[in-house]
Structure formats: C-alpha cells, structure tokens
Amino acid sequence: MAQVTLTNVKKVYPGGVEAVKGVSFDIPDGGFCVLVGPSGCGKSTLLRMVAGLETISAGEVSIGNRVVNQIEPADRDIAMVFQNYALYPHFSVYDNMAYGLRNLGTPKDEIDRRVKEAARILAIEPLLERRPKQLSGGQRQRVAMGRAIVRKPQVFLFDEPLSNLDAKLRVQMRVEIKKLQRALGVTSIYVTHDQVEAMTLSDKLVVMNGGQVEQIGLPSEVYKKPASRFVATFIGSPPMNILPGTIDGPGIVALGDAILEARDLRADLAAGARVEVGLRPEDIEIASEGEAGSLPFDIEFIEELGATQLFHGQLAGLPFIMQAATDTISAQPGRLWISVDPDRVHVFDPATGQRLGL
C-alpha cells in the first residue's frame, strides 16, 4: 500500500500539444481518487504518466515516497485496467492472470493459489480455461480486474474501465469495483468522464479541464460548492442553470426584477457588479406569486423520467430546467413561481468563471 503524490506534473507531447499543464495533488494510502473531466482534458495522459507509459515532461510523481519518474512501469508496483481490457487474446483466462506473476518468477503453486483466489473473488472460476474471445464484455472486464489484483500491487490504475459495458452492467460493476477496492485497501486512481461514476466511487474527486485541475475535494464538497462555473455545470445532471445577474448588496443578487438571497456570497463585492447565478434543477422549490425571492418560470414542456420529472422552459428569457419528484407538482405548461434555498444559490464571476463564495 502506498500514497501517491503528484507535484506540478506537466506533459508536452512531441509536436507541442500541452496535454497536462502542471497538476499537483496527493492520494492518501488506500484512497480512491477519480479524475473526471470532458474528453481531451488530459485525464488519460495523467494516468499514463503515473503508470509510466508516458514520460513526464516536468514535475514529479511519487508512489509510496519513492520518486518514480525514471522508473520502468514494471518496477512501479502498479496494475492497470484498460478501457478495451487489453487481454492477451492467445492466452486462456488463467494464463492472462498468471502472466504478470510468471514474469516475476513467482513459484508455480503460489501463482496457482493467487489466480484461483482472484477467480473466486470475481466469480470467474468456471471461465479459467476459456480464451478472451469466448467471453462476454462483462466477463472480460472481470478478467481484466483479476489480472490487476493477482499481482497485489501498491496502486490500481483504471482508465474508463466501464465505458464499454451496457448501462445495467456498468452500475453493477461500479459497485463491485468499489467493494473490491475497500476490501483490498489498494490506493486507486480512476479515470472517467461519467460524473455518476465519479461521484459514487471517489473519496477524492479531481475535476480537470484543459489540462488543469479545476477543483479537488470530497465528491459532496464538489457538488455543494463547485469552485467554478465549469465544475458547476459539469458535475450534476441535468446541468446547473446559469443566469446573468447583478450584486444588489451583501449576500443579495438581483435576477431581473427578482431579488435572491445567496448566503454563501462574498461580502466585499460592489453593488451593481455583473455576476452569473447558478441554480441546480433539483434545488428548485415552488413558491407563490409575490413572495420574496420568487421567480417566474414559464414551463414549455415536461419530461417524465419515472421517479422524477424534468420541466423545460424559460426564465427571464433564458432556457431553464427544473427537476422535481413525480406527483409533487401537477404543473402544466404555463407560468410557475419558484424559489431557491439561499444556501443553494451559487454565484460566479462572469470573467473568470470562479466562484464568488466563501
């Protein structure tokens, strides 16, 4: 077991693409860190630098207090699960899992014991003699996991391991990965662009954008206090509504004619300054006309999602979405007065996108 520390890590690909622009964070021993961000933000590049599959252009990566920049992948004591599983097609499931141990010169009976144990944990014992092409996607995924755990590495690295599975299997494997990681206590870094995976798996969430870290924190912190407009709209589904507003006084923003209280707002902002106000669809409550802080929402159509409903429409002339549990509102297309808890009003600087909060 080991902690992983990244210090000002940079990656410039030959040809000049700056994929990672100075990233620093650390993952405590046994921690589960998820890197999330839009396509092309440098998540895989960062992970591959930790694995040793890409050279590190600048900065330092250390695993268990040992700087690994110059150390071969094989000697970093890591295991990686790839998006396409990368199983050896000409080996049986057993040999796929045994290969790494054989390369280390582990005694035969020890290999046998560890492969069988991993197969038992992952419930793939009946498949040990099969070739990868005779397995379903979910089974291949398990074998890839098995190959990672038999080696008992210090760190697990996952690069979008679930994105080739169907939705149902994805949920199931997600839970299993989390359980397995808890049980084994191995420090893990997990790359995904799926924010549900990111929220549910991580105990440390790193949101990346354009080769930089936007925010690091507990998933609940990132959700409740997004550090920037980017994070606010990236984490949460459907995404947060963003509306233009102005500062009306300490802790008060104006959205058109309506006045909203924002408890988290910094007090040093000049009245009249332009800001962006973020409201999550699931934080919207129903109010009545004329009530303080109520906003007029013109509903255009309603989507039924089963447990919840999505109301699409316009607020102050801008597209707006609200989410509510089914049957709590029997709203029809038309005007609805809404309000938001002052603790859940997010305010961002329109120029930098940074949160103007405490």
Ligand X SMILES: Nc1ncnc2c1ncn2[C@@H]1O[C@H](COP(=O)(O)OP(=O)(O)OP(=O)(O)O)[C@@H](O)[C@H]1O
Residue 213 Cβ vs ligand X, minimum distance, rounded to whole Å = 13
Binding to ligand X, residues 138-197 (CB under 6 A)? 193
Span near other proteins by CB under 8 A; candidates 49-57, 135-143, 212-220, 242-250 = 49-57
| SS3 category, 205 | strand
Please tell me the total number of residues recorded for the chain in this structure: 358
Q: Which is nearer to other proteins, 103 or 314 (CB)?
A: 103
Q: What is the dihedral of CA 171, 137, 179, 34, to 10 degrees?
A: -70
DSSP 72: -
Residue keyed to tokens 């992970």: 47
Residue keyed to tokens 């890409």: 54
With CB under 6 A as the rule, give the number of residues binding ligand X: 13
84 binds other proteins (CB under 8 A): yes
73 CB neighbour count, 10 Å cutoff: 14
318 binds ligand X (CB under 6 A): no
* Residue 42: contacted member of other proteins, Mg ion, ligand X, none (CB under 5 to 8 Å, by partner type): ligand X
Span near ligand X by CB under 6 A; candidates 11-19, 242-250, 262-270, 286-294 = 11-19
Half-sphere exposure of 328 (CA within 13 A, CB side): 15
* Residue 39: contacted member of other proteins, ligand X, Mg ion, none (CB under 5 to 8 Å, by partner type): ligand X
Span near ligand X by CB under 6 A; candidates 15-23, 222-230, 306-314, 322-330 = 15-23
Residue of 6, 36, 78, 279 interacting with other proteins (CB under 8 A): 78
Distance CA 150, CA 17 (A): 36
Q: Which is nearer to other proteins, 81 or 299 (CB)?
A: 81
Which residues contact residue 328 at a Cβ distance below 8 angstroms, ignoring those fewer than 6 apart? none
CA distances to 8, 15, 105, 170, 210 from 110, in Å: 40, 46, 10, 32, 45
Which residues contact residue 1 at a Cβ distance below 8 angstroms, ignoring those fewer than 6 apart? 29, 30, 64, 154, 185, 186, 187
Contact flags string 44-83 toward Mg ion, x per CB under 5 A: x---------------------------------------
Taking the alpha carbons at both ends of the chain, their separation in whole angstroms is: 36
Distance CA 168, CA 179 (A): 17
Span near Mg ion by CB under 5 A; candidates 8-16, 43-51, 84-92, 273-281 = 43-51
Q: Which is nearer to ligand X, 17 or 175 (CB)?
A: 17
Alpha helices in 105-241 (DSSP H): 108-121, 137-150, 167-184, 195-201, 219-224, 229-234
| SS3 category, 135 | coil
Span near Mg ion by CB under 5 A; candidates 8-16, 41-49, 268-276, 345-353 = 41-49
Residue of 9, 33, 43, 96 interacting with ligand X (CB under 6 A): 43
Q: Which is nearer to other proteins, 51 or 284 (CB)?
A: 51
49 binds ligand X (CB under 6 A): no
Residue of 1, 74, 271, 292 interacting with other proteins (CB under 8 A): 74
**Angle, vertex CA 40, rays to CA 9 and CA 167, nearest 5:** 115
Residue of 13, 88, 292, 354 interacting with other proteins (CB under 8 A): 88
53 binds other proteins (CB under 8 A): yes
By the criterion CB under 6 A, which residues form the site for ligand X?
13, 15, 17, 19, 37, 39-45, 193
By the criterion CB under 8 A, which residues form the site for other proteins?
51-53, 73-74, 78-80, 82-84, 86-90, 99-100, 103-104, 131, 133, 147, 151
